[in-house]
Amino acid sequence: MSTPLLELDRLTLGYTSSPVVRDLSLQVGAGQVISLLGPNGAGKSTTLRACSRLLDPMSGRVLFRGVDTADLSAVQVARQGLVQMSDERSVFRALTVEEHFKLRHRGQRLDKTVAYDYFPALAKLAKRRTGLLSGGEQQMLGLGRALARRPEVLMVDELSLGLAPVIVQRLLPILRRYADETSSGVLLIEQHVQMALSISDHAYVLVHGDLILDGPADQLARDRHLLTASYMGESGGQHAASEPTNLQDANKP
């Protein structure tokens, strides 16, 4: 198998001496959309912080294109293409949509043609001040700006925050298309679980910092009971002492 674009290798993370994510291994391959699911406080955002180099691992490694990122700064990993959609969410209300693409992002140029290709509606709104955009349009601009950085792995934490499900349903497939068309990877945190699974190849479920379950997204989408049970900590054992349930392994003869 080729080297994954992003690999978390037995990652343990925390803010104090007690870890909030334990021994997490996960992979994002070229052209894959991977969901990281789990209830509130499970450690999902903490995991993305470590990938973005905003938090040093207590143990374990984050590898980008097979290279340990431990010696890289947050700006360096982002420049190399491991990008978290974050501050793109905030818009400058007095600037137009077009003007947002002239702003560099931590020194990186934005390619507005990429954003307009994925969101033709943005091109039509180019001259509008962003203070006058709807919440969905602002999120479109945020995602458009993240894609305009041409990430090799894009990490998205709760695209749906504050948005109506119908808008999320329109935005999420863009991530699928981006992965398919550019062979980039996407690592997605999303509370709309079924919507996330519908665009994902594979999903991992974290509960209280432990990987409880992982498997092909279509299989998890079909087995809602297993997914619900995992959120309740009933699948594969509750804490690190037990092995996580891997649906692919479980199905091997």
- Which residues contact ligand ATP (rule: CB under 6 A)? 15, 20, 38, 40-46
CA atoms of 115 and 148, how far apart (whole Å)? 5
What is the smallest separation between the CB atom of 45 and ligand ATP, expressed in angstroms?
Answer: 3
CA atoms of 186 and 166, how far apart (whole Å)? 21
Q: Residues 226, 217: contact at Cβ < 8 Å?
A: no
Of 137 and 190, which CB lies nearer to ligand ATP in the complex structure? 190
What is the smallest separation between the CB atom of 200 and ligand ATP, expressed in angstroms?
Answer: 17
Specify the DSSP element, H or E, that contains 78: helix 74-80
CA atoms of 172 and 180, how far apart (whole Å)? 13
Of 20 and 77, which CB lies nearer to ligand ATP in the complex structure? 20
Of 30 and 74, which CB lies nearer to ligand ATP in the complex structure? 74
CA atoms of 25 and 91, how far apart (whole Å)? 34
Of 2 and 18, which CB lies nearer to ligand ATP in the complex structure? 18
Cα–chain center distance at 190: 8
What is the smallest separation between the CB atom of 16 and ligand ATP, expressed in angstroms?
Answer: 7
What is the smallest separation between the CB atom of 20 and ligand ATP, expressed in angstroms?
Answer: 4
What is the smallest separation between the CB atom of 27 and ligand ATP, expressed in angstroms?
Answer: 19
Of 43 and 142, which CB lies nearer to ligand ATP in the complex structure? 43
Q: Tell me the CB-side half-sphere exposure of residue 236, using CA atoms within 13 A.
A: 24
